[in-house]
């Protein structure tokens, strides 16, 4: 990176942090710190909701995923529009009228304190783990570029994010998200334009699409019903629907966003924005990953994009074998380029298979020579393109976008973790009556704690494969069961507190059992399994035990 690029990065990040601190006005009360005094416009809330998903994990992980497998990951989002419509008609009015700080407060009103505490605990565990992955994505990028160690890079990213989130609360997070969305979309659009320019110098757009299609990367929809297939139409429409319902309806990091809206209608509009805009944005990201694949058909690329262990491999007993593979790779890549240029489909597919085989062997050598069984290449694909192919200035903008995406998405999750910790545990069970200044002080300490905890998780998350899959795999352990208990709370008036509590436990036990005993069942289905088990077990216990419990109407006054 040049001095110009570093200037862009420093200027943008300084602006993000300073503006975040400026937004701290009005956060001297609990309502202002956690919910921005319920005053944000719908479009800002909507952009903030999408920014949480459009994190650095999306930029780094999704593009790498598309480079390897193409557009089929888009099926993951097929259930999103339906989920947003359902949530707009159900949980949005429930939570807004209840005037709660967290989604789990409602569970105590409907059931009891132990159900609330268990649900909130599951959120804290799942979200803290996912936050670590969100931080790992930009750390992968920056450590590769700067040659820093991963722990140092993670701390460099975490410290500014912890500072402005701790001081500014949710209002600083929300307005930072708004800026981040424009920067990310603008930067990705510019990257796509440069990719197309580099490709069209060699082949026509139609030929480029044919090459991508020949490898299956343009196959966006798979109607096969197979629980062992990760991304299909059915896993997206059913498993994805349950995941989205739980994520946006039961996860505090999302619920807290639309609780900051001015009214129920504005909260609904913020969710519907995601229903209409998220899939096109995701196609932009995935399309960039596919174009990177086509781009490297005609431009030199490294045998492995993750070059962190080059020196260690070259000093190992397998150095000669690795060097021979690099020569084979260059020959195979040249043959593939020639086949692609003359549009020889059979020769192109044969040489592409050869390139993939060589890369797999090279990755195996790296794992054996270094002892790093978690070594992966996918998360380094797009960062390599950014730093080696983009023009001066735009490199800095893209790095700033990745950096800021991690900070803003992580800041929202960090604020939600602090909210649940203070509202659902500290104020509910330990210090029930205190001043706002006391709760704000403890909230800021909780924010710092969760920020440091996420940093520790991030140390290990960077080497677990595709980051976009890792974060959703973590979430799928918890989301289905949480959705099930809210279904019992909102849609089934005869469910009892005992049924809900033990149903939630049963859902978690079954999901974890399925995950470890039946690993061939892909993680999207864990959300369906968890929700169904909680509802079935919860209703069974409710009908066979105590009298029906109707709970308190959601419009009742909150106990604060």
Q: Per residue in 454-471, pLDDT tens?
A: 888 887 765 555 555 666
pLDDT recorded at residue 493: 81
Beta carbons of 73 and 232 less than 8 angstroms apart: no
Helix axes 240-250, 252-259, angle to 10 degrees: 60
Torsion of CA 284, 287, 289, 292, to 10 degrees: -120
Class of residue 484 by CB neighbours under 10 A (exposed 0-12, middle 13-18, buried 19+) = buried
Take residue 435 and report the two structure tokens written for it.
Answer: 């001043």
- The highest-confidence range among 48-57, 410-419, 544-553, by mean pLDDT, is 410-419
Task: Please indicate whether residue 376 or residue 245 has the higher confidence score (pLDDT).
Answer: 245
- pTM, two decimal places: 0.80
3 state DSSP class of 40: strand
Q: Could you name the CATH architecture of 3-296+388-464?
A: Up-down Bundle (1.20)
Express as a percent the part of the chain with pLDDT over 70. Answer: 92
Rounded to whole angstroms, the Cα distance separating 518 from 522 reads 9
The residue assigned the tokens 């409907």 is: 110
Residue pair 248/65 in contact by the 8 Å Cβ criterion: no
Neighbours of 541 (CB within 10 A): 19
Please tell me which of 137-146, 412-421, 467-476 the model is most confident about, judged by mean pLDDT. Answer: 412-421
The number of angstroms, rounded, from the C-alpha of 554 to the middle of its chain's C-alpha atoms is: 30
Per-residue pLDDT reduced to its tens digit, 158-198: 888 888 888 878 887 888 888 878 888 888 888 999 999 99
Q: For the chain, how long is the longest CA-to-CA vector?
A: 76
Question: What average pLDDT does the structure give for the chain?
Answer: 84
Per DSSP, the residues of 327-365 read: HHHHHHHHHHHHHHHTT-HHHHHHHHHHHHHHHHHHHHH
Cα-to-chain-centroid distance, residue 214: 30
> What is the full DSSP assignment across 236-294?
IIIIHHHHHHHHHHH-HHHHHHHHTBSSHHHHHHHHHHHHHHHHHHHHHHHHHHHHHHH
**Mean pLDDT calculated for residue range 505-512:** 93
Check if the beta carbon of residue 407 is closer than 8 Å to that of residue 160.
Answer: yes
Q: Kindly give the residue spans of alpha helices, DSSP state H, lying in 377-518.
A: 381-389, 394-421, 436-461, 467-476, 479-491, 497-517
Q: Provide the pLDDT for residue 314.
A: 86
Residue 558 confidence (pLDDT): 39
Domain ranges of the chain: 3-296+388-464, 307-375
What per-residue confidence (pLDDT) applies to 468? 58
Task: Give residue-wise pLDDT tens across range 310-333.
Answer: 888 888 888 999 999 999 999 999
pLDDT above 90 covers what percent of the chain?
A: 29
């Amino acid at each position: 990176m040049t001095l110009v690029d570093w200037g862009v990065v420093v200027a943008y990040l300084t602006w993000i942090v300073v503006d975040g601190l400026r937004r701290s006005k009005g956060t001297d009360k609990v309502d202002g710190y956690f919910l921005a005094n319920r005053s944000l416009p719908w479009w800002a809330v909507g952009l903030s909701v999408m920014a949480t998903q459009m994190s650095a994990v999306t930029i780094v992980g999704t593009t790498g995923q598309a480079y390897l497998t193409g557009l089929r990951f888009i099926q993951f989002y097929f259930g999103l529009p339906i989920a947003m419509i359902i949530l707009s008609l159900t949980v949005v009015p429930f939570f807004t009228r209840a005037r709660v700080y967290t989604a789990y407060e409602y569970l105590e009103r409907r059931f009891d304190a132990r159900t609330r505490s268990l649900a909130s605990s599951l959120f804290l565990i799942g979200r803290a783990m996912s936050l670590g992955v969100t931080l790992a994505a930009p750390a992968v990028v920056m450590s590769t570029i700067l040659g820093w160690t991963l722990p140092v890079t993670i701390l460099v990213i975490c410290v500014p994010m912890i500072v402005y989130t701790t001081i500014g609360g949710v209002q600083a997070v929300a307005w930072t998200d708004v800026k981040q969305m424009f920067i990310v979309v603008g930067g990705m659009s510019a990257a796509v334009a440069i990719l197309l320019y580099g490709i069209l110098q060699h082949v026509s757009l139609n030929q480029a699409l044919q090459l991508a299609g020949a490898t299956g990367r343009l196959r966006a929809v798979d109607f096969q019903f197979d629980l062992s297939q990760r991304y299909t139409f059915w896993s997206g429409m059913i498993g994805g629907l349950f995941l989205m319902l739980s994520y946006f309806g039961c996860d505090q990091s999302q619920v807290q966003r639309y609780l900051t809206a001015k009214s129920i209608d504005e909260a609904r509009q913020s969710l519907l924005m995601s229903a209409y805009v998220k899939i096109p944005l995701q196609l932009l990201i995935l399309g960039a990953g596919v174009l990177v694949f086509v781009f490297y058909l005609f431009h030199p690329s490294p045998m492995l994009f993750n070059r962190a262990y080059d020196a260690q491999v070259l000093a190992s007993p397998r150095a000669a074998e690795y060097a021979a593979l690099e020569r084979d790779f260059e020959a195979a890549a040249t043959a593939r380029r020639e086949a692609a240029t003359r549009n020889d489909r059979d020769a192109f597919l044969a040489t592409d298979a050869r390139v993939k085989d060589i890369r797999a062997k090279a990755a195996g050598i790296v794992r054996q020579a270094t002892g790093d069984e978690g070594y992966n290449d996918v998360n380094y694909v797009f960062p390599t393109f950014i730093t080696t192919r983009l023009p001066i200035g735009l490199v800095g903008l893209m790095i700033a976008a990745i950096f800021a995406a991690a900070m803003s998405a992580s800041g929202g999750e960090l604020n939600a973790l602090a909210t649940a910790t203070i509202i659902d545990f500290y104020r509910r069970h330990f210090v029930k009556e205190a001043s706002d200044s006391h709760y704000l002080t403890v909230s800021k300490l909780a924010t710092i704690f969760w920020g440091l905890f996420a940093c520790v998780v991030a140390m290990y998350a960077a080497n677990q494969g595709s980051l976009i899959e890792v974060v959703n795999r973590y979430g799928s352990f918890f989301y289905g069961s949480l959705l099930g208990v809210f279904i019992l709370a909102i849609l089934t008036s005869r469910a009892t507190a005992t049924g809900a509590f033990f149903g939630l436990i049963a859902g978690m036990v079954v999901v974890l059992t399925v995950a470890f005993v039946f690993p061939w069942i892909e993680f999207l289905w864990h959300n369906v399994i968890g929700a169904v088990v909680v509802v079935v077990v919860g209703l069974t216990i409710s009908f066979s035990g105590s009298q029906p419990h109707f709970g308190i109407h959601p419009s009742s006054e909150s106990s604060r």
